[in-house]
A and B are shown apart, each in its own frame.
Chain A
Amino acid sequence: MSVAVTIETIEKRFENFPALRGVSLDIQPGELVALLGPSGSGKTTLLRLIAGLEQADRGRVLFGETDTHDLSLRERRIGFVFQHYALFKTMNVADNIAFGPRSRPHRERAGESEIRKRVSELLELVQLQGLEKRYPSQLSGGQRQRVALARALAIEPRVLLLDEPFGALDARVRKDLRGWLRELHGRTGHTTVFVTHDQEEALELADRVAILNDGRIEQVGSADDVYDHPATPFVCEFLGEANKLPVKVVGSQAFFGDRPVLGGITQNQGGPASLYVRPQHLRIVDETPLALPGTVEHLRRNGPLRRAEVAVEGLKKRLDVDLASQVAPAIGERVRLRITHGNLFAAA
């Protein structure tokens, strides 16, 4: 039932605004892929193109071996969950879910009793038994979300597409639904693509994450891939926080000013570069040959983490440093920082 989705060099313009400029992506059958990016990056446009709600100016979308260009929306068999769910307000939950099966052409339509059986199975799947007769306005946000999902699953879709599935929910419900959706995907095994601007959500939920920026895909990979080995400065900055240091690479060492700060560089790129270092990859040390001196100017607590802001001479922005030990430095204290891991990108 699940199919592979192949996206080939898609281009799409709106008026004078290029929304997608040459996007290609291969999605395996049964895979759960996140399209992650800031607003305006083209991620929702890409999702709507896969669904057939928009037409590409150039390029193709294939389901398995089939070019979708000539398929009608009905023939595509897409399960689309809209950002605000788009539940039919004038129908109750059961009628919403049964809408797809009842919309089949007469010859292919299942009997009414069979449809009703399917609806109750789906309600059980999304854990909403007993709410058949409720109207969408009588449901909570999380319940609406699950009705929308059940409605999309009712047509036995070949591909499931979700537009910001948790965008309209509050933080707690969001967390619960995330785990639940992962589990549901494990059970039903639909090829699933979802759009999000929340990197945490994408990394936690998806088998692979495609990071979009300005109408292009910057990187595709597993959560570990994209987080630990970002391909571009954009990916590095978008996925979590990163301090940026202008450095100069000579041989296997990176220099900040005339001070060596990182060694063992194997990438073959001499000259000016930007070094991106995540706050957890900066450590306060006593003495080390490769260290960056600075002054603690601010201490903050961010949930379980304590964080110091350290001013370094020659750098406008203070460095964010996660404090590993319970012993925090005092404000005004002079410290030395060691970089345990960093990502180097040639200076633009």
Chain B
Amino acid sequence: MSDVTAPFVPAAPARRSSARGESLSVRIALISVSLAFLLLFLALPLASVFVEAGAKGWEAYRAAITEPDAQAAIRLTLLVAAIAVPFNIVVGIAAAWAIAKFEFRGKNLLISMIDLPFSVSPVISGLVFVLLFGAQGYFGPWLQAHDIKIIFALPGLILATIFVTFPFVARELIPHMQSLGTADEEAALTLGASPWRVFFRVTLPNVKWSLFYGVLLCNARAMGEFGAVAVVSGKIRGLTNTMPLHIEILYNEYMGAAAFAVASLLAGLALVTLALKTLLEWRFGDEIAASRRH
């Protein structure tokens, strides 16, 4: 064997700016395609919502969102989200915990089931509940006999919203919890912590940022859901109309400015969600990165 090893010197290709070798023109092209797409399909429509909303002036805008039916729709939307989101947080955490920390039969089936609401059309998600609880549904006669209203009432709206928004929290948590493993929990248990203390002091803090993202997305969708809610709502003004449904009715009645005024509230919610997420990433970026690392 020779003592001298010749250093490996690769022939440097001309005008390559990085080791991966994309040339400048490729990079510019990729960046401008993405930017153009975002501008055309996201920024422009969003901006037009706000422009249309203000088209008839401030007074008209205020009237559109303070009118009783609009107020009822806003209240209903907030109420539905206030029930559906906490429910999905609890169930989502339970499902993620079970999948990430235990081995059991049917685990893969459960994981696919969690994705189901994403792969099914929202209209069908709504129809399922009509089929179950509607007047002609399986439980319809029994419910009527006991004077319980689910379809065309608040319970139906909540059920449909829960169904459609269920995956958000669970899907954020599962991969994160899986990557964390169970060593932290075992350590806490050997140190003498009770299971509740382990959960609230170790497990939950470890995944708090994933949980927070999941909740943000879940909330945005819960407030914005249209399809499933439209089927079970019956669209009774002032009673079972959520904001998205109210917007559609206004629009169909050629009250464009009023429709866009209410729509701007929903769009505003999306922007607030985005801003909150960015703010937190900027403010707690190191901590988020640290808690996501192994």
Please list the residues of chain A having a beta carbon within 8 angstroms of any beta carbon in chain B: 51-53, 73-74, 76-80, 82, 84, 86-91, 99-100, 103-104, 135, 137, 151-152, 154-155
Shortest Cβ distance from residue B199 to the other chain A in the assembled complex, whole angstroms? 13
B202, A135: Cβ atoms under 8 Å?
A: no
Chain B contacts with A in 171-215, Cβ cutoff 8 A: 183-184, 186-194, 197, 201-202, 205-206, 208
B293, A137: Cβ atoms under 8 Å?
A: yes
A320 to B189, CA, bound (A): 49
Return the chain B residue nearest A95 by Cβ: B201
A residues near B290, Cβ cutoff 8 Å: 89, 135, 137
Chain B contacts with A in 271-294, Cβ cutoff 8 A: 290-291, 293-294
A74, B192: Cβ atoms under 8 Å?
A: yes
Most chain A C-beta atoms within 10 Å of own C-beta, residue among B197, B201, B205: B201
A90, B291: Cβ atoms under 8 Å?
A: yes
Q: Given A88-B202, A89-B206, A137-B293, A104 and B187 touching (CB < 8 A)?
A: no
A residues near B205, Cβ cutoff 8 Å: 88, 90-91
Q: Please, could you name 29 A-B residue pairs with CB atoms under 8 Å apart, sorted by A?
A: A53-B186, A53-B190, A73-B190, A73-B192, A74-B192, A74-B193, A76-B190, A78-B190, A82-B183, A86-B184, A86-B186, A88-B187, A88-B201, A88-B206, A89-B206, A90-B206, A90-B208, A100-B193, A103-B188, A103-B191, A103-B192, A103-B197, A104-B192, A135-B290, A137-B293, A151-B187, A151-B191, A152-B190, A155-B191
Q: Given A104-B192, A155-B192, A86 and B187 touching (CB < 8 A)?
A: yes
Return the chain A residue nearest B204 by Cβ: A90
A53 to B202, CA, bound (A): 18
Binary contact readout B124-155 vs A (1 if CB under 8 angstroms, 0 otherwise):
00000000000000000000000000000000
Give 10 new A-B contacts, CB below 8 A, not counting A89-B290, A135-B290.
Answer: A80-B186, A86-B183, A87-B187, A88-B188, A89-B184, A90-B206, A99-B188, A104-B192, A152-B191, A154-B191
Chain B contacts with A in 213-257, Cβ cutoff 8 A: none
A90 to B211, CA, bound (A): 15
B residues near A82, Cβ cutoff 8 Å: 183, 186-187
Instruction: Compute the total of residue contacts between A and B using a CB distance below 8 Å.
Output: 68
Interface size class of B (residues with CB under 8 A): 20 to 34
- Choose among B188, B190, B197, B291 the residue that contacts A89 (Cβ–Cβ < 8 A): B291
B residues near A154, Cβ cutoff 8 Å: 191
A289 to B202, CA, bound (A): 70
A88, B190: Cβ atoms under 8 Å?
A: no
A154 to B290, CA, bound (A): 25
A84 to B293, CA, bound (A): 13
A88 to B188, CA, bound (A): 9
A82 to B190, CA, bound (A): 11
Most chain A C-beta atoms within 10 Å of own C-beta, residue among B191, B201, B294: B191
A137 to B288, CA, bound (A): 12
B192, A84: Cβ atoms under 8 Å?
A: no
Shortest Cβ distance from residue B179 to the other chain A in the assembled complex, whole angstroms? 12
Shortest Cβ distance from residue B134 to the other chain A in the assembled complex, whole angstroms? 47
B residues near A73, Cβ cutoff 8 Å: 189-190, 192
Shortest Cβ distance from residue B220 to the other chain A in the assembled complex, whole angstroms? 26
Shortest Cβ distance from residue A246 to the other chain B in the assembled complex, whole angstroms? 31
Binary contact readout B31-55 vs A (1 if CB under 8 angstroms, 0 otherwise):
0000000000000000000000000
Shortest Cβ distance from residue A3 to the other chain B in the assembled complex, whole angstroms? 16
B residues near A91, Cβ cutoff 8 Å: 205
